[in-house]
Structure 1
Amino acid sequence: MDKSELNRLVEAANSRYTDPGRNRIINEKPGQPPRFEVYHFFMSMCSYKVRAVLDEKDASYISHDIDILPPNIQNYFPEYVRLRVTGGEAIAQPLVDGYTGRSSTETEGFDPCVVPTVVDHEAGKILVNSEATCLYLDSVVSGGTELVPKDLESEIEAQMDIVDRTPHPALLYGANPEGDGRPGFVREMMQTAHDVKIGKLRENMAIVSDDPWLVAAYEHKIVKEQKAKAFVRTESDMRAALAEFKALLADLEKALEATGGEWLFGDRFTMADVFWAVSLFRIKWLGLGYIWATDDGVRLPRVQAYGQRLFARPSIDRSTIHWPNAPPSEHVMEFYGSEP
């Protein structure tokens, strides 16, 4: 797109994000202005993926770590939604109008009010689909790890799709029917999260009532949040989401048995490993690590060992486990000692 128009959209969005602790350059290169600008949230699954890829690629970027949880919900600001909707025009996906417990654009449609959003200033692009963004970053950044080698491209993308379609949001916002092990602050917040989000959406929609483009974006997002609220309060839906988690991890155990190496595709660390790293960390963070290991024994030994290798990967440690403001969970204190 026209770079002057892109700069105008970025400047408008950035006017709402001014905290220097959460708006800064990551991996600054002297004499080289960052090519990328990233709008993300410290504990967003899809943000984990993008940050980890940027770290593996040794890329510099401007980081806007915005708050997407109640009561602030900074990703609903009209300036940010306008930036994201502009980028969404390029992916030809319908606006979100349902909820299956996932965050994948392929299953849910395009959500105009979520993170991450990545701006490529050099190419004049706004990237809004996290899976496609990660593939794009690997293709355009020449440094760092080659995450999608050509001879494994289809196999890697198949694993990325599996993670992208995993119902992570359902088991963040809804209680595990086998016993709610989510951190206490999450359990408390999620009791009213959807109602608060819908209220904030309506507040922001009123601000842009003369802009049909943005009004439509907010209306679709409200429908999604209404359906999400119903989903996470329906026990059969939550049991299905949990069963899907268990089946996917059983399949991962078999895939790791077949590979014979450290990573999912032998001795080469790829984008598939990046995606599984953040997925396994989130599962463990939520108290669902018992799917592969409990105090009584290890149920999925290859998944257990694979997770340990992934969590020790420097890019995963920096982008996910020890990213600033990472919230506490009693299930991952082994990575932090006494304090996260």
Structure 2
Amino acid sequence: MSQSMEQIATELRGALGGGEVVGESGSKEPRFELFHAANSICSQKVRAVLAHHGIPYRSCVLNIFEGQTYLPANIRLRLIGCAELGGGLVAGHTGSTSASQGGCDPAVVPTLIDWETGRVLVDSKRICVYVDGIAAGETTLRPQSLQDAIDAEVEFVDNMPNYQMLAGKPPGEDHRPESRRKSNGVGFAMSKVERCDHYLNEFADDADLVRGYSAKRSKELQAAQQLFTPEAMRTAYDKAEAGCSHLEQMLSSGSGWVVGDTMTMADLYWGLELLRMKNMAVESFWTGGAKPAVEAFIQKVESIPAIRSSVIQWPGAMY
């Protein structure tokens, strides 16, 4: 890769209008720079952890629907992060956003730059753990005595079928937001394949970009072919409802928080997952007495300052 990380970040930042600082950083440039999207649930997780710790950062927002995650500079930046992450680039689509399950996607968000260490970090779970580890202290979201239990819940949420529920037609009546009802998933995924084809043609002589766009193309083509059949969508919704049943058990057996007696990263992750489900109009999973602990939990989640500032009040975060 001929360009340095600094040059790539400058190019991407410029294409996005320069970004703005979130939080108080005084006269200093923030240590962290976050490339993210308002409506990306993975971005929302990172923003919530940063907000919880009151960590300032330079916010550079990409518009997913305008295809800005496919900008060459974003691909190049993420390829640096993917190389550090290890495990190879994505080859297919699992229906979840988990990099540990599907590989590193070079055309998504979020991406965090730690300018103090010069590291480029990808995978929202890894970023959240990294930021929380730096902040540490009494505000930690992963107290050492509960880390295994917290990480198990974070991994559980990370593998929920968010992509299918966002893009695909649900079983039965479609109660999704009006803006999403025209999507059956296949057209959405194929539009990403076509975007990759455009860039593959434009940058046919650039080995790095060809590798990145080819990986993304394979992922979205598989999504179009496999993820949005009626059977696959039924399985996805059943998995989401089973996840809510699991959460009901966790909440009913404890203090009203997912793990332990205070808010942890597990609560942020589950809270954002429930907000996404609520956006997709599947409150029937927990309302009407179906799962009273979950229903009470989401009301509590909506008052958490970090979630309010990073999602509920963040422009464009809610569909």
Question: Which range, TM-score by smaller chain?
Answer: over 0.9
Amino acid at match of 1:134: C
Measured in 1, the distance between the counterparts of 2:213 and 2:22 equals: 31
| Further displaced range: 77-86 or 263-272 | 263-272
Q: What does residue 293 of structure 2 align with? A: 302
Q: What does residue 52 of structure 1 align with? A: 48
Measured in 2, the distance between the counterparts of 1:204 and 1:128 equals: 22
Aligned pairs for 1:71-90 within 5 A: 72-90=66-84
Matched, 1:276 2:253: no
| Pairwise CA distance, 1:240 | 0.8
TM-score for the superposition, normalised by structure 1:
0.89
Q: What does residue 6 of structure 2 align with? A: 7
| Further displaced range: 148-157 or 222-231 | 222-231
Q: Which runs of 5+ in 2 are unaligned?
A: none
> Is the contact made by 2:256 and 2:293 (CA closer than 8 Å) also made in structure 1?
no
TM-superposition CA deviations, 1:129-149 (whole Å, max 9, x none): 110110000001257821011
| Further displaced range: 144-153 or 244-253 | 144-153
Q: What does residue 134 of structure 2 align with? A: 140
Name the SS for the 2:205 alignment partner. Answer: coil
Q: What does residue 252 of structure 1 align with? A: 247
> Is the contact made by 1:41 and 1:68 (CA closer than 8 Å) also made in structure 2?
yes
| Further displaced range: 117-126 or 181-190 | 181-190
The structure 1 segments of at least 4 consecutive aligned residues displaced by more than 6 Å after TM superposition are none
Q: What does residue 199 of structure 1 align with? A: 194
Name the SS for the 1:50 alignment partner. Answer: helix
What is the aligned counterpart of 2:103 among 109, 125, 128?
109
> Is the contact made by 1:101 and 1:231 (CA closer than 8 Å) also made in structure 2?
no
What is the aligned counterpart of 1:235 among 221, 230, 237?
230
| Further displaced range: 189-198 or 86-95 | 189-198
Q: What does residue 62 of structure 1 align with? A: 58
TM-superposition CA deviations, 1:124-180 (whole Å, max 9, x none): 110111101100000012578210111111111000000001111111110111322
> Is the contact made by 1:58 and 1:143 (CA closer than 8 Å) also made in structure 2?
no
Measured in 1, the distance between the counterparts of 2:43 and 2:312 equals: 12
| Further displaced range: 9-18 or 118-127 | 9-18
| Pairwise CA distance, 1:193 | 1.9
What is the aligned counterpart of 1:216 among 208, 211, 230?
211
Measured in 2, the distance between the counterparts of 1:174 and 1:151 equals: 39
TM-score for the superposition, normalised by structure 2:
0.95
Measured in 1, the distance between the counterparts of 2:249 and 2:188 equals: 37
Q: CA 1:144–1:326 in structure 2 vs 1: closer, same or farther (change >3 Å)?
A: farther
Matched, 1:173 2:167: yes
Measured in 1, the distance between the counterparts of 2:300 and 2:253 equals: 17
